[in-house]
């Protein structure tokens, strides 16, 4: 403190503004009175420990700012971890969605393939049924033609036999037929 006072006095004494009349260390010199007031003011500040209070307030303020910074860093880290968690979940959900889409595509392809196989089987069944119907109709037509041919042949044979056959020949044929039937039945 003495060094500070000596420095202030030396600077103040060497200043051209202090070129007042009379001795410097008299109460009539306004520069000296101002200097004394300034020194008393500084002394009062140091006596009441104002610099320490200001330093303490600044330290307290610095600690508050530091704690706010630490809290902000913690919140920032928490936000980063939360963001990373959400991004990880988003990737997992995207992976699941892609898997679901892929499974749906495969299911659709399998369903299409199964539908194709079922359609081919249905066509084959219908074709077989149509062929069976055609064969049945063909067989029915052939049978009908044969029946008609037999009917015509029998009618023609009857007519021919009726013209050419006599009663004795008819009786012989009836007897032969009865004997033939009796032989086949036993």
Per-residue pLDDT of the chain (186 residues; tens, 9 = 90+): 555 555 455 545 545 454 456 788 888 889 999 999 999 999 999 999 999 999 999 999 999 999 999 999 999 999 999 999 999 999 999 999 999 999 999 999 999 999 999 999 999 999 999 999 998 888 888 888 888 888 887 787 777 777 777 778 778 888 888 888 888 877
Q: Where do we find the tokens 């060094």?
A: 3
> What number of other Cβ atoms are within 10 A of residue 31's Cβ?
15
DSSP single-letter state for residue 179 = H
Rounded Cα distance, 106 and 141, in Å: 52
pTM over 0.85: no
């Amino acid at each position: 403190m003495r060094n500070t006072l000596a420095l202030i006095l030396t600077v103040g004494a060497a200043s051209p503004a202090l070129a007042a009349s009379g001795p410097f260390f008299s109460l009539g010199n306004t520069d000296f009175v101002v200097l004394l007031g300034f020194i008393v003011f500084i002394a009062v500040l140091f006596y009441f420990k104002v610099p320490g209070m200001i330093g303490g307030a600044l330290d307290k303020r610095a600690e508050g700012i530091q704690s706010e910074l630490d809290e902000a860093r913690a919140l920032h880290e928490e936000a980063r971890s939360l963001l990373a968690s959400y991004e990880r979940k988003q990737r997992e959900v995207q992976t699941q969605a892609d898997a679901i889409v892929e499974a749906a595509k495969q299911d659709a392809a399998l369903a299409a393939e199964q539908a194709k196989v079922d359609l081919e089987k249905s066509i084959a069944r219908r074709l077989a049924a149509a062929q069976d119907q055609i064969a049945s109709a063909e067989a029915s037509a052939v049978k009908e033609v044969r029946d008609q041919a037999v009917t015509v042949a029998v009618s023609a044979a009857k007519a021919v036999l009726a013209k050419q056959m006599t009663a004795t020949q008819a009786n012989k044929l009836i007897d032969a037929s009865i004997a033939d039937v009796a032989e086949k039945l036993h």
